[in-house]
Amino acid sequence: MRPKRTSLLRTIRSAVDLLASQSDKPEVQSLLNVIDVCARELALREQPDFYLDYRARGTVLAARGRALLDERKIDTGSKLASVSLDPRSHPDVIGGAMTDVTAELERIVHALGPSAGAAVKSYFADVGAWEVSHYAHRTTQPEGAVLAPYDREKFNRERFEAYLKARSPSVPDLKLTEFRVIPGGFSKHTVTFDTEDSVKGRQSFVIRLEPPVKFMELDGMDIRREYPVVCYAYKHGVPVAEPMWIEEDQSLLGMRFFVSRKVPGEVFGTVKETNKPLPDDIMGKLARTIAGIHKVPIDRDDPLIQKSHLAKWLNYPTLAANTRGFVDYWANQAVINRMGPSPIITRALDWMKANVPPDDELFCLVHGDFGLHNVMIENGEVIAMLDWENSRIGDPAEEFARFFAGTHGKIDQDEFVELYREAGGKVFSPYRLRYFMIYDAISVAIACLCTLTRLDEFDRTNVNWSVFGLQFMHYYADRLEPLIEAAERARGK
């Protein structure tokens, strides 16, 4: 349940590398280099093989030096203590033992003095080479060398422009005028780009990139499953950015991705909280947007549904069975992502399995990650719902759990649900809402612990995962028992 020190240091170095690739200011580059050098030194200390060998070679040199002193009848009054080192020892222990042998060699060299025969000169040269090897080691790369979240040699401005021109041979004057990697992406990477040509003029687009390492093995993390959902939502009038095309051939640029037309606007929060003042009347517009998503007709025979990760959720006979399957799906995520033991998560999963809401309303399309971090707003209007990887066919009540957790008590929940119902939204019991608030907390808690496992298992991980796993877990785990108590009270009403 905790990442190794080597994983954390590699993450620091990856973040520094990413920042360095986006800044050409000499003063910034200099400071980033300082951070990287220090992190690299700490990472090297986490790998003891060199230091154990270094001390062993130093011990041999000390014995050789004492033999030279004995030949010259020189007594330094000291002798290197015998030290047994465990390769798993903390670097500070190894460092202390290294200091001992270094100090002993210093005494021997001093006692031998500057006078010299060939044997002593050879000895001085070998001691010098021994010490220099330590300083040279500091310039080497630790195991698990820093790797960018994706291969920038394969996916960069020049290669992407060549890709665009190759797929648009009828537009010979096509130019890539802007190409910008957006920092901060969590489950997928985002790049914005502009093009210009004599036919369509200037256009702006967004690329959603599937990373080489997914933060969890969720169905919608596969961009080939997420893209059809976006197309389906767009076809049925849901506010999403217009999907343009998907590139499934990973060999072309090193990653799969899809492209959408860029929309104006900004998001007003993070997954955890609202961080900006909200426009007037936005709550009513958000409620109408969610009601509209829940009213999208579900055509199980539509090819877009069949290609996506939505189809599997239509195989349950009732909504209660669907919900039970969803709990099992998340319990399985803890297993396949090697989350590790957690009594509090096991307790919450067991409770959810035993207390599935009995209501059997109709299924509906659920965005699955509804929050102000995933809504583009411009001039007080909802322009687009982002990130459909967590979407599914399920219970409409689950839609509100993450939204209410993210708004952190800053909105009236009952009033928002009423706005949703006035917009034609589904009717659900207070218990169903409370039940899915438990789901929201437990799913994020599972994700937190799984991302820390990913840091240890893979090099090409997203640097933001460390923050998510190390900082968010307390917030969500601490809420589980109070949320269960609140749900039990709601069920009793």
Amino acid of residue 195: T
How many whole angstroms from its chain centre is CA 216?
9
Rounded distance, CA 289 to CA 304, Å?
21
**157-261 CATH pick, 2.40.50.140, 3.30.200.20, 3.40.50.720, 3.40.50.1360:** 3.30.200.20
Arithmetic mean of pLDDT over the chain = 86
| DSSP for residue 188 | S
Q: What integer pLDDT is reported at residue 294 of this predicted model? A: 96
Q: How far is CA 311 from CA 133, 134, 253, 267, 282, in A?
A: 60, 59, 29, 30, 32
Q: What integer pLDDT is reported at residue 88 of this predicted model? A: 55
Q: What integer pLDDT is reported at residue 274 of this predicted model? A: 58
Q: What integer pLDDT is reported at residue 4 of this predicted model? A: 75
**If you search the block for the tokens 């579900």, which residue do you land on?**
298
- Is the separation of the CB atoms in 243 and 234 below 8 Å? yes
φ and ψ at residue 459, rounded to 5 degrees: -80, -45
Rounded distance, CA 133 to CA 117, Å?
25
- Is the separation of the CB atoms in 310 and 365 below 8 Å? yes
- Is the separation of the CB atoms in 399 and 290 below 8 Å? yes
Rounded distance, CA 358 to CA 55, Å?
68
The class of domain 282-492 in CATH terms is alpha beta
Q: What integer pLDDT is reported at residue 279 of this predicted model? A: 77
What are the helix and strand counts (H, E) for the chain? Answer: 18, 9
Rounded distance, CA 491 to CA 355, Å?
10
| Per-residue 3-state assignment (H helix, E strand, C coil) for 189-239 | EEEEEEEEECCCEEEEEEEEECCCCCCCCCHHHCHHHHHHHHHHHHHCCCC
pLDDT-based confidence at residue 276 (cuts at 50, 70, 90): low
pLDDT-based confidence at residue 322 (cuts at 50, 70, 90): very high
- Is the separation of the CB atoms in 490 and 434 below 8 Å? yes
Q: Locate 484 and state its tokens.
A: 């269960």
pLDDT digits (tens, 9 = 90+) for 418-434: 999 999 998 889 999 99
Rounded distance, CA 384 to CA 378, Å?
9
pLDDT digits (tens, 9 = 90+) for 85-105: 555 555 666 666 678 888 888
pLDDT digits (tens, 9 = 90+) for 184-243: 666 788 999 999 999 899 999 999 999 887 878 889 999 999 999 999 999 999 999 999
Rounded distance, CA 276 to CA 405, Å?
16
pLDDT digits (tens, 9 = 90+) for 349-373: 999 999 999 877 888 999 999 988 8
**pTM assigned to the model:** 0.79
Paired residues of 197 in beta bridges: 201
Q: Where are the domains of the chain?
A: 5-45, 49-137, 157-261, 282-492
β-pairing verdict for 243-247 and 392-394: unpaired
How many whole angstroms from its chain centre is CA 246?
23
pLDDT digits (tens, 9 = 90+) for 126-144: 998 998 888 888 888 787 6
- Is the separation of the CB atoms in 478 and 272 below 8 Å? no
Rounded distance, CA 312 to CA 314, Å?
5
Choose from 70-79, 245-254, 331-340 the range with maximum mean pLDDT: 245-254
Inform me whether the pLDDT recorded for 271 exceeds 60.
no
pLDDT digits (tens, 9 = 90+) for 62-89: 889 888 888 888 776 666 555 555 555 5
Q: What integer pLDDT is reported at residue 298 of this predicted model? A: 94
Inform me whether the pLDDT recorded for 382 exceeds 60.
yes
pLDDT digits (tens, 9 = 90+) for 45-57: 777 888 888 888 9
Q: Using a pLDDT cut of 90, give the percent of the chain over it.
A: 46
pLDDT digits (tens, 9 = 90+) for 7-57: 777 777 777 777 777 777 878 778 777 777 777 777 777 778 888 888 889
Exposure string over 420-439, b if 16+ CB within 10 A, otherwise e: beebebbebbbbbbbbbbbb
Inform me whether the pLDDT recorded for 335 exceeds 60.
yes
Rounded distance, CA 261 to CA 250, Å?
21
Q: What integer pLDDT is reported at residue 243 of this predicted model? A: 98
Q: How far is CA 252 from CA 148, 156, 168, 262, 459, in A?
A: 18, 12, 15, 23, 22
Q: Is 131 exposed, middle or buried (0-12, 13-18, 19+ CB in 10 A)?
A: middle
Inform me whether the pLDDT recorded for 272 exceeds 60.
no
